[in-house]
Amino acid sequence: MSILKQNKLYFFIPLLILLFVIVSAFIKKSPIKLSNETDVTEDDEQINAILENPLSITRMRSQEYPGSDLIVEGQLSPGSNYSQFVVSYLSEGNKIYALLTVPKENGHASPTGGFPAIVFNHGYIPPQQYETTERYVAYVDSFARKG
């Protein structure tokens, strides 16, 4: 093969690849016909399936989650400058237990608006392996001592 033909090949092959990439970027997906009136692409179907999932963020944001009062289930041994309680509340019909630690005022007035709150949240732990009063004790103790 002559040098001139080789140079033409080296020029046209990348040009063809570039042309293919540009053309494929502008080709639209063909719609799927659901009825005589509606055209929906495969992407639209996937998006709708995600939005209809009850655990999708969009779906969960659209729901109402009414709160409930905290119910003191029992008082625990106090810490050096705080009181501790096992409390419960309702969440979507389920009774959830929590550890409530309240700093003592030690002769000082409560801050305007009350004490700041810190929530230690975690995923599901089987009740046989988890006790409300067992985890986070070191953290709670440290934060409560600092008010």
Cα–Cα dist 30/43, whole Å: 11
Q: What is the pLDDT of residues 16-42, one digit of tens each?
A: 777 777 767 666 555 555 555 555 567
SS (HEC) of 92-146 = CCEEEEEEEEEECCCCCCCCCCCCCCCCCCCCCCCHHHCCCCCCCHHHHHHHHHC
How many C-beta atoms lie closer than 10 Å to residue 87's C-beta?
Answer: 17
Q: What is the pLDDT of residues 41-89, one digit of tens each?
A: 677 787 777 778 888 888 888 888 888 999 999 998 888 778 888 899 9
What are the angstrom distances between the C-alpha of 41 and each of 18, 89, 121?
Answer: 27, 45, 40
AA identity, residue 24: S
Dihedral sign of CA atoms 128, 132, 133, 136 in order: positive
What does pTM read for this prediction?
Answer: 0.53
Cα–Cα dist 144/108, whole Å: 14
Rg (CA), the chain: 31
What are the angstrom distances between the C-alpha of 38 and each of 22, 32, 34?
Answer: 29, 9, 6
111-115, 120-124, 142-146, range with greatest mean pLDDT: 111-115
